[in-house]
C-alpha cells in the first residue's frame, strides 16, 4: 500500500490540547519547513487553544461547544475560521488542503472524524486506539478501499511497525506487547480495593491524559492495544502476547518464523512515535534523551496477572467474541473510568461494570458502523441502571 510522502504536510490535529496533541505541536514546531498546523480542534480548553492559535496561526479551529466557540471567534479575528460541534470535526478533516490528520481525541468521540478522514483519503497518524478497538472490522477495509495507511502513534504499535519494516509478509509468528504494569503492579488484590484517583493518575513512566492513565493502571490500556494490534497487523488473539516490562525501554517485539525476535527500544517519550508517524518512512533528528544502557542496569519482564487485573482478560474475551463485543467493552470501560475519576466507584469496580455489560450483550456479527454506534449507546444505557 502506498503512503503519500510529501515534502510538506498540512496537518489537522484532532485534540490539539491533549497530551498527544500538544506533543504533536512540538514536533511540528521543530520542523516548520516540513509541517504546518493547519487545523486545531478542542473540547473545552480554550485558554490553551488561544495560545496555540497565537503561536501556530492555523487556518481554522474546531471548538466542540458553540458558546466557547463564540469566545474564540471574538479573540482570534477573521483570519482564523472557527467551526463548532462534531460536524466541524468532520468538515475540517476533509478539507482539500489537509494532507495528514492526527487522530488524537480520546475515546469513542474519535470514531466519526477518523472514518471521515479515511474516506477523504488523508494520511492518518492514529493515536485514538478506541476507534480501532470498536470499529476495526469497518475501518481496515475502508482504509484499504481508499488506499490509506493508518500510521500508528501508540508507542507499542509504532515499535511493531518499525520491527516489521523490510520483513516478508507471513514471516511473523508472534507479537509481544510490552506493558509497564502501571502504578499498582505490585499491589495485592486487597490493596487494589482502596486505591485513590490521585494514586491511579500517577503513571510511573508516561505523562498522558487521565482516561488512558487509568486504563494503564487497570491494564485495560494493554487490552485495548491487543485489539488495536490485531487490526493493524492482522494477527489473531492467540498470537498476541503481553509481557510486563516496568522500565518501558522496549516498546514491543516481534517474533519471526525462524525464532528470531526484533525489538524496538527508546526512552519513553511520545514525540518519537508521533514524529515517526509523520515522517515515515524517513527518520529526522530529535532532541530527545538517548537510551543510556549502563545507567539502566537491568531490564525485567513478568507475566501479567489477570486475576488482579481482569480488564486484560476481558479485552481478550471481547476480541475472541468479535462482532459488536469490543464496542461494548470499550463503552463500558469509558463509563466505568469516568465513574472512578468522579469518585463514584472504587477502582476494583471498573472490571465488574465491564463484565456486567459484556455478559448482557447479544452480539451482532459483521457489524456496520451504525450497529457499532448502536452497541456503544446500548452499553451506556444499560450501565446507567447499575
Ligand atoms: P487527552 O485527554 O490528553 O486529550 C484529548 C483531546 O481530545 C483534548 O484535546 C480534548 O480537548 C479533545 N477531546 C476530548 N473529548 C472530545 C470530544 N468529545 N470531542 C472533541 N474533542 C474532544 O488524551 P491523550 O492522552 O492525548 O490521548 C488521546 C488518544 O491517544 C487516546 O485515544 C489515547 O488512548 C491515545 N494515546 C495516548 C498516549 C499518550 O501518551 N497520551 C499514548 C498512546 C495513545
Ligand atoms: Mg501504548
Question: Which amino acid residue places its CA nearest to atom 32 of ligand 1?
Answer: 128
Fold of 9-152: Rossmann fold (3.40.50)
> Ligand 2: distance of its center to the CA of 217 in Å?
12
127 lines ligand 1 (CB under 6 A): yes
> Ligand 2: distance of its center to the CA of 155 in Å?
5
- CATH architecture designation of domain 322-386: Orthogonal Bundle (1.10)
Query: Cα–Cα–Cα angle for 52, 54, 59, nearest 5°?
Result: 80
Q: Which ligand lies nearest to the CA atom of residue 211 in the structure?
A: 1
Per domain, the residue ranges of the chain are 9-152, 157-266+288-309, 322-386
Mean pLDDT (whole number) for 264-278: 98
5 has a pLDDT exceeding 70: no
Here the contacts of 318-321 (C-beta below 8 Å, separation 24 or greater) are 318/223, 318/227, 318/358, 319/226, 319/227, 319/230, 319/237, 320/237, 321/358, 321/363
25 lines ligand 1 (CB under 6 A): no
* Beta-carbon-side half-sphere exposure of residue 334 (alpha carbons within 13 Å): 20
Q: Which ligand lies nearest to the CA atom of residue 273 in the structure?
A: 1
Give the burial class of 224: count Cβ atoms within 10 A of its Cβ; 0-12 exposed, 13-18 middle, 19 or more buried.
Answer: buried
Closest approach atom of ligand 1 to CA 155: 43
286 lines ligand 1 (CB under 6 A): no
Average model confidence (pLDDT) across the chain: 96
133 lines ligand 1 (CB under 6 A): no
Mean pLDDT (whole number) for 242-254: 98
> Ligand 1: distance of its center to the CA of 63 in Å?
15
Q: What are phi and psi of 214, to 5 degrees?
A: -65, -40
- The 10s digit of each residue's pLDDT in 128-153 is 999 999 999 999 999 999 999 999 99
10 lines ligand 1 (CB under 6 A): no
Q: Which pLDDT score, from 0 to 100, does residue 3 have? A: 52
220 lines ligand 1 (CB under 6 A): no
Question: Which amino acid residue places its CA nearest to atom 43 of ligand 1?
Answer: 154
Question: Which amino acid residue places its CA nearest to atom 40 of ligand 1?
Answer: 208
Give the burial class of 218: count Cβ atoms within 10 A of its Cβ; 0-12 exposed, 13-18 middle, 19 or more buried.
Answer: buried
> Ligand 1: distance of its center to the CA of 107 in Å?
7
- The 10s digit of each residue's pLDDT in 153-205 is 999 999 999 999 999 989 999 999 999 999 999 999 999 999 999 999 998 88
105 lines ligand 1 (CB under 6 A): yes
15 lines ligand 1 (CB under 6 A): yes
- The 10s digit of each residue's pLDDT in 286-310 is 999 999 999 999 999 999 999 999 9
d(CA 131, CA 101): 14
Q: Which pLDDT score, from 0 to 100, does residue 182 have? A: 96
1 has a pLDDT exceeding 60: no
Residue with cell 543510556: 292
Amino acid at each position: 500500500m502506498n503512503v503519500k510522502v510529501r515534502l510538506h504536510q498540512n496537518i489537522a490535529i484532532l485534540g490539539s490540547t491533549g497530551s498527544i496533541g500538544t506533543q504533536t505541536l512540538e514536533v511540528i514546531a521543530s520542523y516548520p519547513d516540513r509541517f504546518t498546523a493547519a487545523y486545531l480542534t478542542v473540547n473545552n480548553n480554550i485558554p490553551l487553544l488561544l495560545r496555540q492559535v497565537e503561536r501556530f496561526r492555523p487556518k481554522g479551529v474546531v471548538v466542540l461547544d458553540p458558546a466557547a466557540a463564540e469566545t474564540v471567534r471574538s479573540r482570534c479575528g477573521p483570519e482564523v475560521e472557527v467551526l463548532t460541534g462534531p460536524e466541524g470535526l468532520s468538515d475540517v478533516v476533509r478539507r482539500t488542503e489537509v494532507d495528514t490528520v492526527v487522530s488524537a481525541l480520546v475515546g469513542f468521540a474519535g470514531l466519526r472524524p477518523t472514518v471521515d478522514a479515511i474516506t477523504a483519503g488523508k494520511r492518518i497518524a492514529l493515536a485514538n486506539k478506541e476507534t480501532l478497538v470498536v470499529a476495526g472490522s469497518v475501518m481496515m477495509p475502508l482504509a484499504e478501499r481508499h488506499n490509506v495507511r493508518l500510521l500508528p502513534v501508540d508507542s507499542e504499535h509504532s515499535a511493531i511497525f518499525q520491527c516489521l519494516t523490510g520483513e516478508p509478509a507471513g514471516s511473523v509468528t508472534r507479537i509481544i506487547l510490552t506493558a509497564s504494569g502501571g502504578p499498582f503492579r505490585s499491589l495485592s488484590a486487597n490493596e487494589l480495593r482502596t486505591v485513590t484517583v490521585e494514586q491511579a493518575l500517577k503513571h510511573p513512566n508516561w505523562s498522558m491524559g487521565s482516561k488512558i492513565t487509568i486504563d494503564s493502571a487497570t491494564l485495560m490500556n494493554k487490552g485495548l492495544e491487543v485489539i488495536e494490534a490485531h487490526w493493524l497487523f492482522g494477527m489473531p488473539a492467540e498470537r498476541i502476547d503481553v509481557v510486563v516490562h516496568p522500565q518501558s525501554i522496549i516498546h514491543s517485539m516481534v517474533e519471526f518464523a525462524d525464532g528470531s525476535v526484533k525489538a524496538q527500544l527508546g526512552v519513553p517519550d511520545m514525540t518519537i512515535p508521533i514524529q515517526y508517524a509523520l515522517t515515515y518512512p524517513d527518520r529526522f533528528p530529535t532532541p530527545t534523551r538517548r537510551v543510556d544502557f549502563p545507567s539502566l542496569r537491568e531490564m525485567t519482564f513478568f507475566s501479567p496477572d489477570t486475576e488482579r487485573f481482569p480488564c486484560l482478560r476481558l479485552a481478550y474475551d471481547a476480541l475472541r467474541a468479535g462482532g459488536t463485543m469490543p464496542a461494548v467493552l470499550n463503552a463500558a470501560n469509558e463509563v466505568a473510568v469516568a465513574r472512578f475519576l468522579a469518585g463514584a466507584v472504587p477502582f476494583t469496580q471498573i472490571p465488574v461494570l465491564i463484565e456486567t455489560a459484556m455478559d448482557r450483550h447479544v452480539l451482532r456479527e459483521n457489524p456496520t458502523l451504525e450497529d457499532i454506534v448502536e452497541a456503544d449507546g446500548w452499553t451506556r444505557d444499560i450501565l446507567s441502571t447499575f
